[in-house]
Amino acid sequence: MHAKGEKTMDLIPSFSVDHTRIIPGIFTSRVDTLGDQKVTTYDVRVTRPNIEPAVDVAAMHSLEHIVATYLRNDPEWKDQIIYWGPMGCLTGFYLILKGNRAPEEIYGLVLRAFQSVEDSQDVPGASPENCGNYLMHNLGMAKWYARKFAAYLTENADRPEIFQYPQAQRLVTEDGRQFFDS
Ligand SMILES: [Zn+2]
């Protein structure tokens, strides 16, 4: 029926995530190949989509600054970090790393990064010189979310569901294009 669409299906992943069954955790979103290098995008999902409230936008912004600063200064991992940033839905973050590791292998890094928020005296880069909306920060709320997520990761460390997304068929839009959110 859609011959062109079917050909494209062979080239890109045809499954996406069933957002009605997501629980917080660390998940592989996609693996890309650049030359002979693999690059992995992880979803660091902090809240349950559409079931609990999304993260407060100012807290999300502060977590973006604090965790990015932590990751890019970590002696062991800083050279592996390509990107850290918030999801538009405000339920989690994208983390892009060099290589292709299982989410279990970055559990310790993600846990330490969120635990570090507790020790932050201020939000790094919350100034007009360094940020596009420097007044939109909330360190207290950022600490609350980080503490909650770190406790969750610790309590659920042995559950495979915090590392494995529930899959669903990828949505095809009415005009025949495959849906992506990042
Ligand atoms: Zn900013």
The pLDDT value given to residue 10: 43
Q: 160 C-alpha to center of ligand 1: Å?
A: 33
Task: Give which of 68, 17, 23, 15 is closest to 45, Cα–Cα.
Answer: 23
Residue 151 CA to ligand 1 center (angstroms) comes to: 26
CA of 177 to the centre of ligand 1 (A): 33
What is residue 17's predicted lDDT score, i.e. its pLDDT?
Answer: 86
Question: Cα dihedral angle (40, 17, 168, 181), rounded to 10 degrees?
Answer: -90
pLDDT, tens digit (0-9, with 9 covering 90-100), for 80-89: 999 999 999 9
Asked if residue 132 lies in contact with residue 86, where contact means CB atoms within 8 angstroms, the answer is no
pLDDT, position 14? 58
Ligand 1 centroid – CA 132 distance (Å): 5
Ligand 1 centre to CA of 83 (Å) is 14
pLDDT number for residue 169: 82
pLDDT tens sequence for the chain (182 residues): 444 444 444 445 557 888 899 999 999 999 999 999 999 999 999 999 999 999 999 999 999 999 999 999 999 999 999 999 999 999 999 999 999 999 999 999 999 999 999 999 999 999 999 999 999 999 999 999 999 999 999 999 999 999 999 888 888 899 989 888 88
Residue-level pLDDT at 13: 55
Expressed in angstroms and rounded, the spacing between residue 48 Cα and the centre of ligand 1 is 24
**pLDDT value, residue 168:** 82
**How far, in Å, is the centroid of ligand 1 from the Cα of 130?**
7
